Structure 1
């Protein structure tokens, strides 16, 4: 079985899920963050308590997990961020490379230049391999959600499969539920498969469905329409993948900026937009929209980020008359 996901995080988590809980728990390295709302420094006792709680949680997750089995070489991740920019190409090419370079430009150049090359090359190599394996009769399983990049990934991949003329019943899909209830009866919402922990993947297998030919053709038709429109953004509105303008998320960004003092840390704004509104977009797109607000004079940069840090690690100032 070939598994297809649409982010590096989901790919890594699914690979771990194959053997998660298989042997006796050995522990390991983990990172924890302990902070106070008032900015005061946590005590050593607080840090140690948090570390023990995290370790116990990890142990219980391991011991209760059911390994999915399989080989890591059967899992392919496509981190192409197809909800943003030109999608008129039928396979990842120069246009997608330019979009990725633009998105990664908020990070230090020595990181993003190499990253975009690797993403594009790997995507094309993996597509070639998957096509060969599908032609030999192997089954495929696609994991997707209402997150824009994953929905675009589904539609785009269905278009590829249609060109490859896969046989009926060869493709399965698993859609992430919009919400679930945990063991305490609380509502839990996951934004995408990148938020699913290794021990959780197994339980979603029961949601697997065969992708019927009519479903595949529906995806293909809609993707062709979206390709023809090739809008700056694609978003999922009322469950439908639609083309939209680049300003779609600006109101959420401005709302958080307006709640700040005259000067504020840009990284804090980005963190709140991503965490508070769960829009399914990444930090790079929010940072680029803020960069546009600086360009048109709504904001002004007071400091610059460190050489090895994303550009949004800086202080900005509101230009009151322009907001």
Structure 2
């Protein structure tokens, strides 16, 4: 079974899931991050206690997990961020490279450019392999969610399957639930498959569905329409993937900036927008929109980020 996901985190977690829970738990290095609201430094005792708690949680997850099985060679991750930028190309090329470079320009030392090149290269290599394998009759399973990049990835891949004339009998889909009730009486919401722990993948298999050919064709037709519109963004609105302007998320960003003092840390704004509103967008996109506000004169840069840090690790000031 070929597995298709639309993000690096989901790809890595799914590969781990194949053997997660197999054999005796061996333990390993677990890192923890602790922060205090007042900015004070956590004590060694607090760090040690947090690591102990994390290790115990990991051990229990391993012992309660059922390995998914399969081979890492069957997992293909496509991290094209198709909710953003030009999607007019029939095969990811120069325009997709430009969209990725623009999105990842927040990273230092040309890291974003290198990352964009690696993504494009692996995407086209993997597409060739998947096309050949499906032509030989292999089945595939597509994991997607309501997160804009994963939903765009899903429609894009259905568009490809329709072009490749893949039989509907070969195609299985698994959509991430919008919410789940846990044993402790809490509701858990995941925005994308990248938030799924290795020990959790196996229990989602029961959500797997087959799709009729008309569904594949319908998704392909919708993606073709989005390609023709070729808007700056694509978002999920009332369950429908639609074209949108770049400014659609700005109100959420401005709302958090308005709640700050005259000077503030840009990274704090980005963290709150992502955590509070669960929009399914990346830190890169929020940083890009804040950069546009700086260019428009709405904000002023008061300090620069360290050379080895993303550009948004700096202080900004509201402009009068």
Return the TM-score normalized by structure 1: 0.98
Equivalent position of 2:152 in the other structure: 152
Does residue 167 of structure 1 match 2:167?
Answer: yes
Which residue number corresponds to residue 220 of structure 1?
Answer: 220
Could you tell me how far 1:168 is from its partner in structure 2? 2.7
Matched, 1:126 2:140: no
Task: Give CA-to-partner distance per residue, 1:242-294, whole Å, 9 cap, x none.
Answer: 00100000000000000100000001100110111110000110001000000
Q: Which residue of 2 aligns with 1:102?
A: 102
Provide Cα deviations, 1:100-129, integer angstroms capped at 9, x if missing partner. 010011101331121111100100000000
The 3-state SS of whatever aligns with 2:234 is strand
Structure 1, unpaired ranges of 5+? none
Question: Equivalent residue for 2:254?
Answer: 254
Moved over 6 A (4+): none
Distance in 2 (alpha carbons) for counterparts of 1:35 and 1:160: 45
Question: What is the total number of aligned residue pairs between the two structures?
Answer: 320
Give the aligned partner of residue 20 of structure 1: 20
Q: Distance in 2 between matches of 1:266 and 1:36?
A: 18
Residue 169 of structure 1 aligns to a residue in which SS?
helix
Q: Per-residue deviation at 1:41?
A: 2.0
1:218 Cα offset (Å): 1.0
* Aligned counterpart, 1:90: 90
Question: Aligned equivalents of 1:241 and 1:113: distance in 2?
Answer: 28
8 Å Cα contact 2:256-2:272 kept in structure 1: yes
Q: Distance in 2 between matches of 1:181 and 1:220?
A: 33
CA distance in 2, matches of 1:220, 1:158: 6
Distance 2:150 2:92 in 1: 16
Which residue of structure 1 aligns with residue 73 of structure 2? 73
* Alignment correspondent of 2:202: 202
Residue 48 of structure 1: how far off its partner (Å) = 1.3
CA shift digits 1:226-254 (9 cap, x unpaired): 00000000000111100010000000000
Q: Distance in 2 between matches of 1:183 and 1:170?
A: 35
Mean CA deviation greater in 109-118 or 152-161:
109-118
Query: Normalized against structure 2, the TM-score is what?
Result: 0.99
Give the 3-state SS of the residue equivalent to 2:246 in structure 1: coil
SS at match of 1:236: strand
1:179 Cα deviation (Å)?
A: 0.4
Residue 47 of structure 1 deviates from its aligned partner by: 1.4
Q: State how far apart, in whole Å, the 1-side matches of 2:91 and 2:169 are.
A: 24
- d(CA) in 1 for partners of 2:174 and 2:72? 18
SS in 2 for 1:199: coil
- Residue aligned with 2:235, SS: strand
Q: Which residue of 2 aligns with 1:140?
A: 140
The CA distance in 1 between the partners of 2:261 and 2:91, in whole Å, is 46
Q: Residues 135-160 of structure 1: CA distance to partner in whole angstroms, max 9, x if unpaired?
A: 00000100000000000000000010
SS of corresponding position for 1:247: helix
Structure 1 residue aligned with 2:40: 40
What do residues 19-47 of structure 1 show as CA deviations (whole Å, max 9, x unaligned)? Answer: 00101101101110122212222222221
